[in-house]
Structure 1
Amino acid sequence: MATSARRTPASRARTTIPQVSWRAPQPAPIVLVSGPEEICAERAIAGIREYLRAEDPSLEVTDLRADDYEVGTLLAVTSPSLFGEPRLVRVTGVEKCSDAFLAEAVSYLAVPQDGATVVLRHTGASVRGKKLLDAVRAGQGGGIEIACPAVKRDSDRFDFAAGEFSAARKRIAPGALRTLVSAFADDLTELAAACQQLISDVPGDVTEAVVERYYGGRVETSAFAVADTAIAGRYGDALVSLRHALASGADPVPLVAAIASKLRTMARVAGNRESSSALAARLGLKDWQVDRARRDLSGWSDASLGIAIQAAARADAEVKGGSRDSIFALERLITVIATKAPYGS
């Protein structure tokens, strides 16, 4: 069913339409699907189609490109047919829309057609179409917005994967979830596919052993696996893991970033006696990140942690162009962390 826009004072926010999760999409006369994360946008748009088709199997679906648009098309495909079937119009490329589409779409907001749902996909890659987005967000057309922001942080990927299993009512062990996220840290689409494979293939709960069996080779070469073995003081294993990661195409810059991120989290958690949940809330972390950092701190002192953080800062500069040999810079960083001593001491 269509969702009406909530009215909020202009002083509170420029966006006056409801914000809907991509995991629970619903139709409205206008649905703005915004943001760069394509896998989330695809899920949202597919969910709207399934919702409408469940209500009426005679749903008519039309796809339009806003950058290759013929004048009059939007009104033609949204107008009621002889038998009054519901219509779903999916418009892609709004971030590069033509002048003709922009003008007709803005005009359409004033008189949306009964029984029609128009989905506008805008990746945010440009400001093109801003006039249309502003009008939708101001409440014209009685629309909703489904935001699909970029998933970049490890904690965001963790939340994404946890949501996949939660939506499927499938239990996964926290350690297994973390291992899975680490294995697919660079590609959210692959992470989503891995989650769906485990959900469909594995009877019962998903354990760490299951994830290792399915994706063990991938896990071994992830950036966080390199960081974990080095921080644990397993020098030989850390170097082997590093070489495997590099051999499989890993870039030195995100490798150093992963290591530095873990060290910074350890430093923030060190010496704090708050509960995991309280500390996580105060620092903007997840409970499991605090618990993991506390385990990682075993055997570390303030001095050795400071040395490691300085080494990570130096390596970061070197792999970004400050050195001719980024591999050597990485190996030196692993040596400092795994031995908890300045390089060459």
Structure 2
Amino acid sequence: MSVPPLVLISGPEQVIADRALAETLDAVRQDDPEAEIIRIDGSAYAPGDLSIHTSPSLFGGTKVVVVRDLDEGTDALIDELTTVVQQGVDGVLIVTHKSGQRGKRALDAIKKAGPRVVNAPAIKSDRDKSAFVTNEFRARRRKVTPDAVRALLEAVGKDLRELVQACQQLVDDTEGLIDADVVARYHGGKVEATGFRVADAAVAGDAPEALRLLRHALASGVDPVPIVAVLASQLRQVARVASAGRGRSDQLAKQLGMAPWQIDRARAASRGWDGDRLGRAIQAVAAADFDVKGGGRDPVYAVERAVLEITRQRHATA
């Protein structure tokens, strides 16, 4: 059988973990289409279930037991899983564990038994999300430009499930190279209404365009809180890249935990700024963040005031 008796899927990124589980089960079914799949939920475990389900079948055939969320498992599950693994697995046992110390004793027993380990690490940084999207297209044998990756992240957001669906839609509905124009055709309205476009215009000092995009975003139902968060993020990126010195984009990307296209964009945006004016712009956004989270009476006015202050600082003299 192509799937070993023991498989551990370890890590908090649920999209990757679910995909690894589905691919493992598909591989089992290719070897044995009649394989019996039994699923056990760690947090709702009934004592004795694991021992029953992992015992040899009287009727033959492959039995696959999937233990989900060992990190949320009951004491009974942890005890029984440790014993089952130490005694040897009959059939296939697949265990998922997101993170943390819960279930460590059983986890140690699994690792000692030499399982196939599939890692599902958290994808948090913009650099990692850009790489994830790029790999989604690569896995589907489609080429995508860095500008298209950026546009997709800005339009769809950074939830991996939504990104996977958006990537699949573009693959299914288009042909050839996927560039920013292709993304705009499918997500143009969303792109224009995001805080990223507002931030780009504000950091560039274009007050009329920044306000137009801001009002469009607010009219489209975008909350002021994430817009302020994006303004803060963009300004911090400009400050970090400006202070990081010269170097290749890919090298700085690794150093700063950013995507190469973000390095290039921040470098371009940093022209015309200095440290003092950046600092004042960041302080203005920090004040807006306080206001939009309940400290002020009018969140819309607070974010508009921050946008105008950013553009004013962009054109101010030091």
TM range (shorter): 0.7 to 0.9
Spell out, residue by residue over 1:211-243, the C-alpha distance to the aligned partner (whole angstroms, 9 max, x if none).
011111221222222211222233222223223
TM-score relative to the length of structure 1 = 0.81
Distance in 1 (alpha carbons) for counterparts of 2:257 and 2:312? 30
| Partners of 1:90 and 1:119 within 8 A in 2 | yes
Q: 1:153 to 1:246 in 2, by over 3 A?
A: farther
- Write the letter of the residue equivalent to 1:147: N
Pairing 1:76–2:55 present: no
1:85 is matched with which residue: 22, 39, 61? 61
2:146 is matched with which residue: 164, 174, 177? 174
Pairing 1:284–2:257 present: yes
Equivalent positions of 1:137-152 (< 5 A) are 139-152=111-124
| Partners of 1:63 and 1:89 within 8 A in 2 | yes
Distance in 2 (alpha carbons) for counterparts of 1:76 and 1:310? 62
TM-score relative to the length of structure 2 = 0.87
Gaps of 5+ in 1: 3-26
- Write the letter of the residue equivalent to 1:132: A
User: Which residue matches 2:103?
Assistant: 129
| Partners of 2:273 and 2:314 within 8 A in 1 | no
Shift of the alpha carbon at 1:127? 5.0
2:95 is matched with which residue: 94, 106, 120? 120
Distance in 1 (alpha carbons) for counterparts of 2:10 and 2:251? 33
User: Which residue matches 2:161?
Assistant: 189
Greater displacement, 38-47 / 90-99: 90-99
Spell out, residue by residue over 1:281-328, the C-alpha distance to the aligned partner (whole angstroms, 9 max, x if none).
333333212111112223334443232222223323333443333322
Spell out, residue by residue over 1:184-220, the C-alpha distance to the aligned partner (whole angstroms, 9 max, x if none).
2242211110011112221111121110111112212
Distance in 1 (alpha carbons) for counterparts of 2:257 and 2:314? 30
Shift of the alpha carbon at 1:177? 0.8
- Write the letter of the residue equivalent to 1:76: I
Gaps of 5+ in 2: none
Distance in 2 (alpha carbons) for counterparts of 1:273 and 1:208? 27
Q: Which has the higher helix share?
A: 2
Shift of the alpha carbon at 1:341? 5.5
Q: 1:85 to 1:219 in 2, by over 3 A?
A: same
Shift of the alpha carbon at 1:84? 4.0
Distance in 2 (alpha carbons) for counterparts of 1:128 and 1:277? 38
Greater displacement, 301-310 / 180-189: 301-310
User: Which residue matches 2:202?
Assistant: 230
User: Which residue matches 2:284?
Assistant: 311
Distance in 2 (alpha carbons) for counterparts of 1:92 and 1:202? 37
| Partners of 1:235 and 1:338 within 8 A in 2 | yes
Distance in 2 (alpha carbons) for counterparts of 1:331 and 1:144? 53
Distance in 1 (alpha carbons) for counterparts of 2:104 and 2:216? 46
Equivalent positions of 1:151-170 (< 5 A) are 151-170=123-142
Q: 1:34 to 1:318 in 2, by over 3 A?
A: farther
| Partners of 2:288 and 2:302 within 8 A in 1 | yes
| Partners of 1:256 and 1:316 within 8 A in 2 | yes
Q: 1:268 to 1:71 in 2, by over 3 A?
A: closer
| Partners of 1:226 and 1:242 within 8 A in 2 | yes
| Partners of 1:111 and 1:141 within 8 A in 2 | no
| Partner SS for 1:109 | helix
User: Which residue matches 2:214?
Assistant: 242
| Partner SS for 2:86 | coil
1:212 is matched with which residue: 172, 184, 190? 184
2:273 is matched with which residue: 289, 300, 308? 300
Greater displacement, 81-90 / 160-169: 81-90
Give the RMSD, CA atoms, in angstroms: 2.6
- Write the letter of the residue equivalent to 1:97: G
| Partners of 2:205 and 2:314 within 8 A in 1 | no
